[in-house]
Amino acid sequence: MNSIESISLIITLAAILAYINIKVLKLPSTIGLMVLALLLSLVILLTSSIAPAWTSFARVSLLQLNFSNLLLDFMLGFLLFAGALHTDIEKLRRARGPIIVFATIGTILSTFMVGILLYLALPLVYQPVSLVYCLLFGALISPTDPIAVLSILKKAGISESVETSITGESLFNDGVGVVIFLTIYSLAREGAGNIEAIEIIELLAVEIGGGILLGLLAGYVAFRMLKSIDHYQTEVLITIALVMGGTALASLLHLSGPLAMVVAGLFIGNKGSLEAMSKTTNDYMYKFWEMIDEIMNAILFVLIGLELVLIPIRSSYFYVGLLAIFIIIVVRFISLAIPTYAFRFSERFRKRTLLIMTWGGLRGGISIALALSLEASMERNLLVSITYMVVLFSIIGQGLTLGKVVNKLA
């Protein structure tokens, strides 16, 4: 099968599983799709001795798709733009201080605390790993996934202020997290002695600052084009070009594509919606991007479930995964609490609010995609396996119980 045929098969499978979920399971769509895809993966693995050709076909098809490249280079731009397009910038502006602090300082704190604690804990389960690889895991697992967060928060019954903070943080911290991951990745591959501190600072500044500026510039150009015409078909096409062209340009210039798409989405969804689009265009624009969001989410969570076919399964990894889940939840609370009290946000973010944000900080496909991009020499098998366990627990365990946690703490 070629890549087009593989994608066609995944979309068909996503539609079938979505139907089964709506008809039978009645779970939130993203969770239901992933659960069903997981069950399908288990069936494939359990029947591998009876039907090895079927298992081989599934593995080859998934390897051909290359989950890491598909998500990071293509789907992520669409998903982030769609999420930002539907976000009220006025609400984000009112919570801009905590959002910026949590997305930057909180993510950096989490990266190093997770990495160091995992490094100290792994020898206890007879799995010692170099510190730099533990820090790589900290970087890829610390950002909360905006895709998982946005799709599940809608039904959790969280107060508007907390929802805005979690949404805003998740939209921006994945871009920051990817940049931190790439920086530590360079250190791991080239050696810390070959990279100076000033180079790291420059890389962070250029990737993050450049990504934001590119998003503003691309959003403004698209805004002027939308304002000069009134033809909804062309205007929708302009936004598609904005996402695809902007993501490609960010990659070419070595800037943060995720941050660029978030900024562009906020620009078009707020200023563009008010000043550049007619009522008819607004209606078609939002319905189109809502459908893109739903379709991409369906494909993504089916792929997450199916990735089990490729994940190395060892009993020793299971204990490391449980240990990692505990560390990540504890560190998530601490990395929120430290900035909250350091920057005097405690009046707005009381302990129960921080607990809700801790449990609502879901991990998703971005973490898996980053883990899959690791080289074999970087403890790839171990880190991919425990990342997958953390993501499964996060989406299924935390996602299904978030509403109950909110009700209990509220």
Token output for 152: 């599940």
Asked if 83 contacts 146 with a C-beta cutoff of 8 angstroms, the reply is yes
| Rounded Cα–Cα distance for residues 93 and 270 (Å) | 12
Determine the pLDDT at residue 150. Answer: 67
| Rounded Cα–Cα distance for residues 217 and 234 (Å) | 20
Buried b (16+ CB within 10 A) or exposed e, 322-332: ebbbebbbebb
Determine the pLDDT at residue 278. Answer: 95
Token output for 120: 């100290």
Determine the pLDDT at residue 54. Answer: 87
For the chain, how big is the Rg over CA atoms in Å? 21
Q: Which domains does the chain carry?
A: 68-122+130-292+321-409 (1.20.1530.20)
Determine the pLDDT at residue 78. Answer: 95
| Counts for the chain of helices (H) and strands (E), in that order | 21, 0
Determine the pLDDT at residue 199. Answer: 72
**237 SS3 class:** helix
Q: Where are the alpha helices (DSSP H) in 254-379?
A: 257-267, 273-275, 279-306, 315-342, 351-359, 365-372
Instruction: Express each pLDDT in 245-258 by its tens digit.
Output: 999 999 999 899 99
Determine the pLDDT at residue 390. Answer: 96
**88 SS3 class:** coil
| Rounded Cα–Cα distance for residues 53 and 50 (Å) | 9
| CB half-sphere exposure, 228, CA atoms < 13 A | 7
Selection from 20, 46, 21, 44 nearest residue 32 by Cα: 21
Matching residue, tokens 């098809």: 61
| Intervals of the chain under pLDDT 70 | 1, 147, 150-151, 153-157, 192-197, 410
Determine the pLDDT at residue 192. Answer: 60
